[in-house]
Amino acid sequence: MEKHWKTKLIHSDAKIPEGFRSLNTPVYRASTTLFSDAAAVTDAWDQYESGYTYGLYGTPTTLELAARICELEHGYRTIITPGGQSAISLINLALLRAGDHVLLPESVYGPNRKLGNDVLRRFGVEVSYYEPTIGSQIANAMQPNTRVIWCESPGSITMEVQDVPAIVEAAHAAGALVAMDNTWSAGVYFDALAHGVDVTMQALTKYVGGHSDVLLGSVTAREKEVYQRLGATQQVLGCAASPDDCSLALRGMKTLAVRLEKVEQSALTIARWLATRSEIESILHPALDSCPGHELWKRDFLGSTGVFSIVLRDSFSKQQVHRFVNSLELFRIGYSWGGVTSLAVAYDFGRFKKRALYQHRIVRLNIGLETPEDLMADLKAALILSSQS
Ligand SMILES: Cc1ncc(COP(=O)(O)O)c(C=O)c1O
């Protein structure tokens, strides 16, 4: 057919050389994906079953990232979400219904708690909390309608390591599923699915992205049945991840091992040095025995990453804790972690009645890729300055 140039803008006959071979996964952006004929049109979400049907359910870029995360976590299948928190929401919305009960550790990531308190309860789900170090005693916190038990190990900020296999055993004995936030271990230093967890999530925003410039999450199911429930819910939630962001995460994955090795070594060096400082009451780093659940970390984990917390000694006022954080030059102040820049954030648990632990004296550190000696010099100067009343 002879085409008008305006039609050619849409239906071009232009040719380019074939055979380009890059080492990287191309960024496939698409809403529309084409069907071979009218009868082939379907709105099925599982692109493994139906072939590609719609960009919302995954393009080759998003599915490549999903498949690679799934490979690392030894799962059945993975779904990529636009952020870690949306991965948490997907799990809760897919696996819970009105009348169900969900259990969360007291140390759970704050917005997971908020989702439970502010949204799930609104939809008739009962939400309660348990001490993260409860282990097999979780059975006492369970109810006949308990359907999901969340684990997060180590816990956010307070870093308690959990006895995940014991929780899994009690949950499965009563027919409940175990969901786990496995972000701290980057999905590789704790093999959650091999320890019996049914569904894991990671904020890929942290170590997989690795450069503080992308928000993404993953949800990995151990078995097909759970994957089907997650996929069907993801379809109607309409939370698709951007293929551009997925390509950044795929790039991040290539350097994940070297970054993890480096931050593990630096964090351990810094944590052990901090433990010798008189300004510090304790170090909440799973590889140090001052961390609640350290023995479980030794039993279950393959390594540690670069996030840990310090508790300043009890003479430190809140102002002094803030002076400590504000005096740091290399450590910057900001949320999220897993990037190349060291970060420090002070938390005040005195505000939370049930979690008054450590009060205003806890500071979470993210160790980045700077030289550890420089980071220690920075911390030392800030500790000396802030301890002077
Ligand atoms: C343990 C943990 N889980 C989940 C999230 C949520 O990730 P995102 O910021 O990608 O929503 C965070 C973010 O800080 C986190 O620390």
Mean pLDDT value across residues 91-119:
97
Average pLDDT, the chain: 97
3-state percent breakdown (helix, strand, coil) of the chain, nearest 5: 40, 15, 45
| Cα separation, 28 vs 58, whole angstroms | 10
Mean pLDDT value across residues 139-158:
97
Q: Is pLDDT of 367 > 70? A: yes
Between residues 106 and 356, which one has the greater pLDDT?
106
Of the listed ranges 129-143, 245-259, 343-357, the one predicted with least confidence: 343-357
Q: Which atom of ligand 1 is nearest to the CA of 152?
A: 1
DSSP structure class, residue 339: S
Mean pLDDT value across residues 22-36:
96
Q: Which atom of ligand 1 is nearest to the CA of 88?
A: 4
Residue 356: what pLDDT? 75
Q: What is the three-class DSSP state of 364?
A: strand
Residue 351: what pLDDT? 67
The amino acid that residue 187 corresponds to is: G
Q: What is the three-class DSSP state of 330?
A: coil
Cis peptide before 132 (omega within 30 of 0): no
| Cα separation, 238 vs 45, whole angstroms | 11
User: Phi first, then psi: what are they for 81, rounded to 5°?
Assistant: -125, 165
Structure tokens at 217: 């999450």
Binding site membership of 73 for ligand 1 (Cβ less than 6 Å): no
Across the beta sheet with 362-366, the strand order is 280-284, 307-312, 362-366, 343-347
Binding site membership of 58 for ligand 1 (Cβ less than 6 Å): no
Residue 355: what pLDDT? 72
Residue 349: what pLDDT? 84
Taking every pair of Cα atoms in the chain, the longest distance, rounded to a whole number of angstroms, is 84
Q: Please tell me the residue having the least CA distance from ligand 1 atom 7.
A: 84
Residue 389: what pLDDT? 66
Residue 350: what pLDDT? 75
Per-residue pLDDT band at 366 (split at 50, 70, 90): very high
Q: Name the percent of the chain lying above pLDDT 70.
A: 99
Residue 353: what pLDDT? 67
User: Which burial class, exposed, middle or buried, applies to 207 when counting CB atoms under 10 A from its CB (0-12, 13-18, 19+)?
Assistant: buried
Per-residue pLDDT band at 28 (split at 50, 70, 90): very high
Structure tokens at 266: 């630096």
Q: Give the distance (Å) from ligand 1 centre to CA of residue 336.
A: 7
Binding site membership of 320 for ligand 1 (Cβ less than 6 Å): no
| Cα separation, 191 vs 373, whole angstroms | 32
Mean pLDDT value across residues 212-240:
97
Q: Is pLDDT of 181 > 90? A: yes
Binding site membership of 215 for ligand 1 (Cβ less than 6 Å): yes
Q: Please tell me the residue having the least CA distance from ligand 1 atom 4.
A: 84
Mean pLDDT value across residues 63-85:
98
- Angle, CA of 375, 381 and 385, to the nearest 5°: 145
Structure tokens at 240: 């698709």
Please list, in sequence order, all residues whose beta carbon lies within 8 angstroms of the beta carbon of residue 30, skipping any fewer than 6 positions away: 55, 59, 243
Q: Is pLDDT of 253 > 70? A: yes
Q: Name the percent of the chain lying above pLDDT 90.
A: 97
* Kind of pairing between the strands at 177-181 and 199-203: parallel
Other C-beta atoms within 10 Å of 194: how many?
12
Q: Which atom of ligand 1 is nearest to the CA of 335?
A: 14
| Cα separation, 385 vs 389, whole angstroms | 9
Helices 318-327 + 372-387 axis angle, to 10: 150
| Cα separation, 27 vs 113, whole angstroms | 35
Contact (Cβ atoms closer than 8 angstroms) between residue 25 and residue 60? yes
Q: Give the distance (Å) from ligand 1 centre to CA of residue 31.
A: 27
